[in-house]
């Protein structure tokens, strides 16, 4: 490493074990030192809203626990025995071998070991995910590519109209991934498509993965994570892809997403407009019910916006808060360290939604630097909303401002079925933001109190 990173917002490449666990009935086999897998489980499980271990996750993950003998003499024999044990004990449809730093340094040929089992008809693939190779995002991409290259086998695609593979959020690294994928699936189904989300409770597991070559097209809803997968599928099977680089949140962005996807899929404009009209009518009726609250607490509501999150969330949520809720953008920090080759696209997409957003983007994966910059920009302001992680919560409390959670680490909240995407997700985000006015006790223009005589309200300017 050339420098230390303070307040890390992601883990190392081995965190791809969580990507494997996000596939129903898939199991990771970790070839790494003792403790590596457990630490990742804590960060991307408990630290991502206490989402649970999943199928054979947490302490159930198979690991070689490589020690001195494996480092000196090589660990391929122990890896082979660990895979054999996992296949014997665990009922799974896919087993993915992942390497840690020790295996990467020693140079164990995990591809060869996994290949022995694959040739026997066992669903075993291998991925090089030594921690020093990259971040959680890198590891996720490598796992997806490995399954596509090693796990699908030689198949002849039979494209089916309406079938679409969705590549989007990174499981666990993006804390609302499960509900986000369900939201994307529901949105696409509403315009007549048959989406395969590949991860989470609404996925059919390996049955969906094996059906990938038969899609009419692939849909990437992310600025950069997943580009390698859709390009690979275009090369392997000739499947075209649509790249929508922003996670849609709120009515404006969601409507744009549906229209662009429908046009690419060849769906009549009249059909998608009927869906958008119905959903927007519902969305704005709910939003209209917020007017009384906004008027009553206007002296306490934030107006300035700071966002610290991965680029997929930061772009969509910033656009929603600025374009539909009237916030003034002050700082947008992209913490996922996108490749240099993708940064111009990200800036252009931000500027297309609001010129101020394009100029405010800051690519910074050092959370300490993010915190210091926000604090300097805040000055003495008490009218700011900080959207980010638990680190931003601490800064908001220190400076007397409001916060809401949208990114890791989040060890102090529980996430089951929460999303910021789509029409409902935008409303749910607003609920959380404005409810925090009371939870953080920043509301002073009007207080609600329970007295011995019952509920009463009293003004307090």
Under DSSP, the state recorded for 385 is E
Task: Report d(CA 4, CA 16) in Å as an integer.
Answer: 22
Task: Report d(CA 63, CA 65) in Å as an integer.
Answer: 5
Query: What's the token pair of residue 115?
Result: 């290949």
Query: Which tops the pLDDT comparison, 59 or 162?
Result: 162
Question: Is 8 inside a domain boundary?
Answer: no
Task: Report d(CA 179, CA 174) in Å as an integer.
Answer: 11
pLDDT, residue 2, reads 52
Proportion of the chain above pLDDT 90, given as a percent: 87
Mean pLDDT across 316-342: 98
150 backbone φψ class: left, alpha, beta (φ>0; ψ -120 to 50): alpha
Query: What's the token pair of residue 371?
Result: 């915190």
Task: Report d(CA 137, CA 41) in Å as an integer.
Answer: 15
**In this structure, are 341 and 261 located in the same domain?**
no
| pLDDT of 455 higher than 50 | no
Query: Mean pLDDT lowest for which of 51-55, 196-200, 355-359?
Result: 51-55
**Could you list the residue range(s) of the whole structural domain that residue 350 is in?**
292-439
Query: Which tops the pLDDT comparison, 44 or 179?
Result: 179
| pLDDT of 345 higher than 70 | yes
Mean pLDDT across 237-251: 97
Query: What residues contact 190, with CB distance under 8 A and at least 6 apart?
Result: 258, 275, 279
Question: Is 204 inside a domain boundary?
Answer: yes
**In this structure, are 303 and 247 located in the same domain?**
no
What are the pLDDT digits (tens) for 213-226? 999 999 999 999 99
User: Do strands 304-309 and 328-334 pair parallel, antiparallel, or not at all (unpaired)?
Assistant: parallel
User: Which of 103, 122, 151 finishes a domain?
Assistant: 151
**In this structure, are 185 and 118 located in the same domain?**
no
**In this structure, are 34 and 137 located in the same domain?**
yes
| pLDDT of 457 higher than 90 | no
Question: Is 7 inside a domain boundary?
Answer: no
Whether the Cβ atoms of residue 284 and residue 291 lie closer than 8 Å to each other: no
What are the pLDDT digits (tens) for 134-180? 999 999 999 999 999 998 877 889 999 999 999 999 999 999 999 99
pLDDT band at residue 409, thresholds of 50, 70 and 90? very high
pLDDT, residue 456, reads 37
What are the pLDDT digits (tens) for 131-145? 999 999 999 999 999
Task: Report the predicted TM-score, pTM, of the whole model to 2 decimal places.
Answer: 0.94
**In this structure, are 19 and 106 located in the same domain?**
yes
pLDDT band at residue 441, thresholds of 50, 70 and 90? low
Proportion of the chain above pLDDT 70, given as a percent: 94
Under DSSP, the state recorded for 3 is S
**In this structure, are 135 and 184 located in the same domain?**
no
| pLDDT of 71 higher than 90 | no
pLDDT band at residue 421, thresholds of 50, 70 and 90? very high
Task: Report d(CA 397, CA 162) in Å as an integer.
Answer: 48
**In this structure, are 277 and 304 located in the same domain?**
no
**In this structure, are 271 and 299 located in the same domain?**
no
The dihedral formed by the CA atoms of 414, 418, 421 and 427, expressed in degrees to the nearest 10: -110
Q: How far apart are the first and last CA of the chain?
A: 53
Total number of domains constituting the chain? 3
Task: Say which CATH number the domain at 176 has.
Answer: 3.40.50.1980
pLDDT, residue 246, reads 97
Question: Is 95 inside a domain boundary?
Answer: yes
Under DSSP, the state recorded for 45 is I
Whether the Cβ atoms of residue 199 and residue 25 lie closer than 8 Å to each other: no
pLDDT, residue 442, reads 63
Task: Report d(CA 310, CA 302) in Å as an integer.
Answer: 23
Mean pLDDT across 357-366: 96
Question: Is 6 inside a domain boundary?
Answer: no
Query: What's the token pair of residue 396?
Result: 């908001």
| pLDDT of 45 higher than 80 | yes
Task: Report d(CA 182, CA 278) in Å as an integer.
Answer: 20
What are the pLDDT digits (tens) for 280-295? 999 999 999 999 999 9
Whether the Cβ atoms of residue 267 and residue 191 lie closer than 8 Å to each other: yes
What are the pLDDT digits (tens) for 88-98? 999 999 999 99
Mean pLDDT of the chain: 93
188 backbone φψ class: left, alpha, beta (φ>0; ψ -120 to 50): alpha
pLDDT, residue 153, reads 72
pLDDT, residue 74, reads 77
């Amino acid at each position: 490493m050339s420098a230390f990173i303070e307040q890390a917002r992601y883990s190392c490449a081995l965190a791809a074990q969580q990507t494997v666990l996000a596939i129903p009935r898939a199991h990771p086999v970790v070839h790494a030192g003792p403790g590596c897998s457990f630490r990742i489980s804590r960060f991307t499980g408990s630290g991502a809203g206490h989402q649970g271990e999943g199928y054979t996750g947490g302490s159930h993950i198979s690991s070689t626990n490589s020690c001195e003998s494996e480092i000196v003499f090589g660990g391929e024999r122990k890896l082979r025995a660990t895979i054999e044990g996992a296949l014997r004990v665990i009922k799974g449809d896919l087993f993915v071998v992942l390497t840690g730093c020790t295996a990467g340094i020693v140079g164990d040929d995990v591809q060869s070991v996994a290949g022995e089992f694959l040739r026997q008809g066992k669903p075993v693939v291998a991925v090089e995910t030594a921690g020093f190779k990259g971040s959680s995002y890198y590891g996720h991409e490598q796992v997806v590519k490995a399954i596509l290259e090693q796990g699908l086998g030689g198949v002849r695609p039979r494209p089916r109209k309406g079938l679409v593979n969705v590549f989007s959020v990174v499981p666990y690294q993006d804390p609302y991934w499960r509900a986000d994928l369900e939201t994307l699936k529901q949105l696409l189904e509403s315009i007549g498509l048959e989406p395969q989300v590949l991860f989470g409770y609404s996925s059919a597991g390996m049955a969906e993965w094996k059906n990938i070559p038969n899609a009419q097209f692939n849909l990437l809803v992310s600025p950069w994570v997943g580009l390698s997968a859709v390009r690979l599928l275009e090369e392997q099977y000739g499947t075209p892809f649509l790249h929508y680089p922003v996670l849609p949140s709120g009515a404006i962005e969601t409507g744009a997403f549906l229209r662009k996807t429908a046009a690419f899929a060849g769906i009549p404009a009249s059909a998608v407009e009927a869906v958008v009209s119905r959903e927007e009518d519902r969305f704005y009726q709910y939003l209209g019910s917020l007017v009384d609250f906004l008027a009553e607490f206007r002296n306490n509501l934030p107006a300035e916006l700071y966002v610290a999150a991965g680029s997929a969330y930061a772009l969509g949520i910033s656009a929603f808060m600025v374009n539909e809720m009237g916030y003034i953008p002050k700082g947008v920090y992209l913490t996922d360290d996108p490749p240099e080759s993708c940064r111009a696209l990200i800036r252009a997409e931000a500027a297309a939604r609001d010129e101020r957003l394009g100029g405010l983007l800051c690519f910074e994966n050092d959370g300490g630097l993010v915190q210091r910059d926000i604090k300097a920009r805040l000055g003495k302001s008490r009218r700011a909303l900080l959207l980010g992680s638990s680190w931003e919560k601490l800064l908001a409390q220190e400076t007397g401002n409001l916060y809401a959670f949208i990114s890791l680490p989040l060890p102090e909240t529980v996430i089951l079925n929460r999303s910021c995407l789509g029409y409902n997700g935008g409303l749910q985000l607003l609920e959380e933001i404005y409810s925090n006015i009371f939870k953080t006790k920043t509301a002073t223009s009007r207080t609600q109190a329970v007295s011995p005589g019952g509920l009463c309200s009293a003004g307090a300017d």
